Chain A
Amino acid sequence: MNNNIVYALYDDDDILLTSVKKMKEKNLNVKEVYTPFPVHGLDKVLELKETRMAITAFIYGCIGLTFGSVLIYYIMISGEYKSWPMNIGGKPNFTFFKNLPSFVPVLFELTVMFAGHLMSLTYFYRCKLFPGSQETSPDPRTTDDKFLVEIEHENFKEVEKFLKTTGAIEIKKKDDK
C-alpha cells in the first residue's frame, strides 16, 4: 500500500484549495493535507466532518458545575457543618439555595476550569499530541511555507500528469525520498 502514495507540494493556499477541489472532482483518494497554517474552507473541500470539540467543552462544563455544586453542598451545607452551622458575615449556611449568590463565583470558575482543561486534554488526545511524539509531516517545509497533499494512486504517470496541470511545484512517490 505504501508504494502507491504520492506527495504533491504546493506553495500557495489558494492554488492548493482549487487543486484539492479538482482532485476531489476526479475522484482521487486524498489521504491527508499538511499545511503551515489553517487554510479556511479546506475542511469543507476535503469533506471532513465537523469537529465535536465544542460539544465536549459543553459536557465538561456541565460536569464542572455539578462537581462544584456537590463539593460546596457537602462542605458548606450537609457535611460536618451540619452539626455546627455557622453564620458567616450574615450569610448563614442552612440551605444551599439561600446561600447560592456567594457560591456563584466559585461555581463559575470551576465550570470554566473543567471545560477549558478537559477540552484541551481531549484535543491533545484526539490529535495524538503529546511531549515526545516523534510524528512529523512527510516534508519539514510544511511548517514553513509549503502545502503538501498526500494522494493514493493507481497509476503514477497519470496522476503526475494531472497534478502538474493543477500547479503543483513538486511531485514525488513516497519511496522517492
Chain B
Amino acid sequence: MHKESRIRDPLIDGNKTFHDITVEVAYPVEGKANKYWWTLFGLSVILMLWGFGCIAYTIGTGIGVWGLNKTINWAWDITNFVWWIGIGHAGTLISAVLLLFRQKWRMAINRSAEAMTIFGVIQAGLFPLIHMGRPWLAYWVFPIPNQYGSLWVNFNSPLLWDVFAISTYLTVSTVFWYIGLIPDFAMIRDRVNEKINPLKKKLYSLLSFGWSGRAKHWQRFEEVSLVLAGLATPLVFSVHSIVSMDFATSVIPGWHTTIFPPYFVLGALFSGFAMVETLLIIVRKVVNMEAYITIKHIEYMNVIILFTGSMVGIAYITELFMAWYSGVEFEQYAFLNRATGPYWWAYASMMTCNVVIPQLYWIYKIRTNIIATFVLSIFVNIGMWFERFVIIVTSLHRDFLPSSWTMFSPTFVDIGIFLGTIGFFFVLFLMYARTFPVVAQAEMKTILKSSGSEFKKIDNEQ
C-alpha cells in the first residue's frame, strides 16, 4: 500500500513515528525562543523601523528625496518591487506546481516557502504604493464607481493588470496556505493545556476554525487543495508575465522584447528558490527540522536552481543576439551600452552571479553541501537584484536624447527603504517561525510510510 521504488532516497530521516512528527513540529511553537532568535529579531526590527522612517520621510517630503531624475524615472523602487515579487514565486510553485506533479519532497518545504511568498509579496506591494506619492489615494487603482464622470481605470494598461494580478496572487496564495494550515493549527490546539495556557488555547482554537479531521472533511480538503493548486499554477506564471509586460509593452530599447514573460518567470523561480534555500538552511538548524528538510531536499532545489539559472543565461544571450539580429541601431546600442557602458559592473555581477556561479551545481559535492548551497543562494539573490537593476536603469539612463544622458545614484532614503523591507520581511518570517507549524505535519504523516528512512529499510528487506 505504501510502496515506493527503492531507488528513491528517503525524505524523512531517522526512526520516526506519527507522534514524533507531531512533537517535533510543535516544538518551536511550544518552546521558548533562544538568543539567536532574539538577536536576529532585534536586528530585523531595527532595520524595519529605519525603513518605515524613510518611508515616512518620502511620503512627507515627496518622491524627490529618492535618487530619481528626469531621465531615470524608475530605479530602485521598481527594482525592489520586481525582486520581491520574484522571490514570492517559489512558494506557490512548490505548493501548487509540485503538488500537480505529485512531488512528495514539496511537503517538507511548502509551508515555509509559501509564508515567504506572502511576506515577499507584501514587501513588493509597498513599493508601488509609496511611489504613488499620495498613498492615501491608493484605492484609485481599483475600478470603483466615483463622482468624477468617466474617471475609470484603464484596462489596457499593464500597470492595471499588475493590480489585478498581484492582488489575486496575494489573496489566493494566502487562502491556499491557510487551508493547509487549519489541520496543523488544530494539532497545536489539541496539545495546549487549557489550564496552563488558556490564552494560547483560545488563540489556536480560533485559528483552527474548529477542525476535527472527519473523513468527509479530509475528502473535501484534498479536492480543494488540488483545485487550488490547479488554479494557482497558471496564476504563478501569469503574475510575473504581467510584471514583465510593464516593461515589454513599452517602446524603450532594452525593454521592448517578446522574450520577457518566460524570461521573467524563470528568473522569478530562480530567485525564489534561492531565497527559500537561504531561509530554510537557517530554519532547519534553528528549529531542528533536519530530519524533515534533508540534504535530498536541498539537492532537489539546487537542481531547479541550476536549470532555471541556465535558462536565464540562455535568455540573456538570446536578448543580445536578437538586439544584433534585429538590425535596429537603438536596440543594438542599448545592449552594447548595457554590457560595456558605464554600468558594465552591474551587468558583469549579474552574469557572474546568475549564470556562471550556479553552474557549480553540476558538481555533486557542491549541490549536496549545505554551506556551499547557502553561499551560492546568497549570490543568486544578489545576482537577481542586479538583473532587475540592469534591465531598468541601463535601459533608461541613456535615452533617445543624448543631452539628457545621466547616471543614477541612490540616496540614503532609497537604500533605507530597501533595507527596511528586508527587515520587515525577516520580522514577519521570524514571528511565523515561532508561532506557526513550519512543516505541513498532516501531509508529512501521509508520506511517512512510503518515504521515511526506517520504513524504506523494512520495505527493502522484504
- A-side residues, CB < 8 A to B, are 13-14, 32-40, 42-43, 46, 48, 51, 53-54, 57, 71-72, 75-76, 79-81, 83-84, 88-89, 91, 93, 99, 102-103, 105-106, 108-110, 112-113, 115-117, 119-120, 123-124, 126-137, 140-145
Contact = CB atoms under 8 A, between A and B. Distances in A.
B58 to A, nearest CB: 29
A116 B231 contact: yes
Nearest to B249: A89
Contact of B1 (A14, A53, A72, A116): A14
Given A112-B168, A145-B22, A57 B209 contact: no
B190 A136 contact: yes
A123 B209 CA distance: 12
23 contacts: A14-B1, A14-B2, A37-B442, A40-B446, A54-B223, A57-B227, A57-B231, A76-B156, A80-B150, A102-B155, A106-B164, A109-B161, A110-B164, A112-B231, A112-B232, A113-B172, A116-B171, A120-B224, A127-B220, A129-B182, A130-B210, A142-B213, A145-B445
Given A105-B165, A144-B187, A75 B172 contact: no
A155 B445 CA distance: 35
Nearest to A58: B227
A120 B179 contact: yes
**What 9 A-B pairs have minimum CB-CB distances, sorted nearest first?**
A133-B210, A145-B18, A80-B150, A140-B190, A129-B209, A135-B210, A109-B164, A105-B161, A38-B218
A51 B219 contact: yes
B210 A75 contact: no
Given A36-B445, A89-B156, A128 B190 contact: no
B238 interface: yes
A53 B158 CA distance: 33
B154 interface: yes
B350 to A, nearest CB: 28
Interface string B1-25: 1100000000000000111001000
Of listed B158, B207, B215, residue having the most chain A CB within 10 A: B215
A117 B224 CA distance: 11
B182 to A, nearest CB: 7
Interface string B236-269: 0010001001000100000000000000000000
Nearest to B205: A134
Interface of B: 1-2, 17-19, 22, 143, 149-150, 152-158, 160-161, 164-165, 167-168, 171-172, 175-176, 179, 182-183, 186-187, 189-191, 205-207, 209-224, 226-228, 231-232, 234-235, 238, 242, 245, 249, 442-443, 445-446, 449
A131 B206 contact: yes
Nearest to A91: B156
Contacts of B234: 108, 112
A132 B206 contact: yes
Of listed A34, A46, A79, residue having the most chain B CB within 10 A: A34
B215 A112 contact: no
Given A53-B227, A88-B156, A145-B17, A36 B175 contact: no
A37 B190 contact: no
B446 A38 contact: yes
Nearest to A114: B168
B191 A123 contact: no
B213 to A, nearest CB: 5
Contact of B209 (A72, A124, A141, A142): A124
A63 B157 CA distance: 24
A119 B228 contact: yes
B98 to A, nearest CB: 17
Given A53-B220, A126-B220, A35 B207 contact: no
Contacts of B209: 124, 129-131, 133
A140 B211 CA distance: 11
A38 B179 CA distance: 14
A144 B215 CA distance: 15
A131 B207 contact: yes
Given A83-B150, A113-B172, A131-B206, 4 more contacts: A79-B152, A84-B150, A116-B231, A144-B22
